[in-house]
A and B are shown apart, each in its own frame.
Chain A
Amino acid sequence: MKDDVVICRCEDVTYGQIVEAVRSGLTTTEEIKRILRCGMGPCQGRTCTRLITRIIAEETGRTIEEIGRPAVRPPARPIEIGVLAGRSDEENR
């Protein structure tokens, strides 16, 4: 079933869930991210955002440009708290 295809692998969100969200009135990647968590996992949407945008486009008939991309939040890659804490300790010395 296409509905069961996993689109966001980090948070285990399926095609069917995303289509349902769009049909309920969530028409931007930002909104879908906030309700379904897709794009909030370790990869921060690197793989799924493009797919989700395409699903929204298919469902709403809007273009990829109109839909827009969710804000990219730092850090660019997940970093361990201990590593960050260590660095700032050195800076403070």
Chain B
Amino acid sequence: MRRTADCVIIGGGVVGSSLAYYLAKRGMTNCVVLEASYLSSGATGRCGGGIRQQWSTEPNARLAIESMALWKGLEDELDRDIEFLQGGYLVLGYTDDDVRQFEANVELQRGLGLDVEVLTPTEIRDRAAPGLDTRGVRLATYCSSDGSANPFLTTQAYADAARRLGVEFELFTPVGRVLVEGGRVTGVETERGTVSAPVVVNAAGSHSLLLARTAGIELPITPWRREILVTEPVERFLDPMVISFSFGIYFRQTRHGAVIGGFADPDEQPGFNQTSSLDFLTTMSRKLGRLMPRLASVKIVRQWAGLYDATPDGQPILGHVPEVDGFIQACGFSGHGFMIAPKVSSLLAQLITGERPDLDIDRLNLRRFADGATAGERSVV
């Protein structure tokens, strides 16, 4: 294990791995990624793999749109099949609130150049999701360039590309403490010794909260359990990811043929609990069977849970912290860190290598909460 590095990244999820790659690509190859377990063992390996550009706040929408531009070239760039597919995202609206919110969303998204359509229930069945039971649906927004990718393969591909450029990945190496001296980060402490570095990136998902505390920084991140399940593979019948905030569901068909999906339990309590529940299994089955009757005879093979690292405004915490020089945050992804990872990591790589990020990420700095940030993301499932 290297004892000194130009940059230490804590966490081998999609964010840590992609950041390592973009840093190395910019010439900073003496980086070490420290991962407590194996790659993708956190939220990344538990996520739905959806890539959506339809967001309600400008920062999220911009990050997602510009990430999509990177996603499109990623298989070529990383020289690996990551099951990237632009099957679209269909957002179902049931309530007056949905209809009002969708209007505002579409205006914002179109203003950013996104091709998003508004579909009637008939159009939904004819064009986007044949066989969908649209009872109660008022309208949907549909963006055919949204998509998905396989989170394990993506993270592995980023890590392998970073390794080829000289980055070291130390797996099964938990960081116990971020080391700070005189208001500057100096490295990290692990069970296998310390690694000194002038830059330390906190990309530890929900655990970022705990790591930041070791450096005296309090992050407004709340961990929430989110459950998810997958069926046996079936013949292709569905292209887009189908989601609804009011009905509370998201699901898609993977390239492998399985249907993967989940919903957010409104009664969930915050915490690091990642167990699976029978309640989720039965309620999710009811929701899936109701929306896609053809799935009634399809079998569920596996369920699991992961953590959302939620911030008060549903947007990530990126960049410097005022109190500790060199300690960079890349966390608080609030349930959509997979899709925006390519752009977020490119921007942070620019920031760390001393270049001005080509998109303003300063407004996603931790400082915004002290300033009383309020405008929150509404389009979270």
Contact = CB atoms under 8 A, between A and B. Distances in A.
Interface string A73-93: 111001111101101110100
B276 interface: yes
A26 B41 CA distance: 13
Contacts of A91: 282
Contact of A82 (B276, B283, B297): B297
Contacts of A82: 285, 289, 295-297
A34 B152 contact: yes
A75 B289 CA distance: 18
Interface string B37-49: 0111100010000
B281 interface: yes
A85 B289 contact: yes
Interface in A35-93: 35, 37, 40-42, 44, 71, 73-75, 78-82, 84-85, 87-89, 91
A91 to B, nearest CB: 7
B303 A73 contact: yes
B303 A75 contact: yes
Nearest to B155: A34
A34 B296 contact: no
B86 interface: no
Contacts of A40: 301-302
B256 A37 contact: yes
Given A30-B41, A89-B286, A91-B282, A81 B303 contact: no
A73 B280 CA distance: 14
Interface string B291-333: 0000111111111100000000000000000000000000000
15 contacts: A31-B39, A35-B156, A41-B301, A44-B301, A74-B281, A75-B300, A79-B300, A80-B297, A80-B299, A81-B288, A82-B289, A84-B285, A85-B285, A85-B288, A85-B296
Interface of B: 38-41, 45, 152-153, 156, 231-232, 256, 276, 278, 281-283, 285-286, 288-290, 295-304
Given A85-B288, A88-B283, 8 more contacts: A34-B40, A41-B232, A74-B281, A78-B299, A82-B296, A82-B297, A84-B286, A88-B282
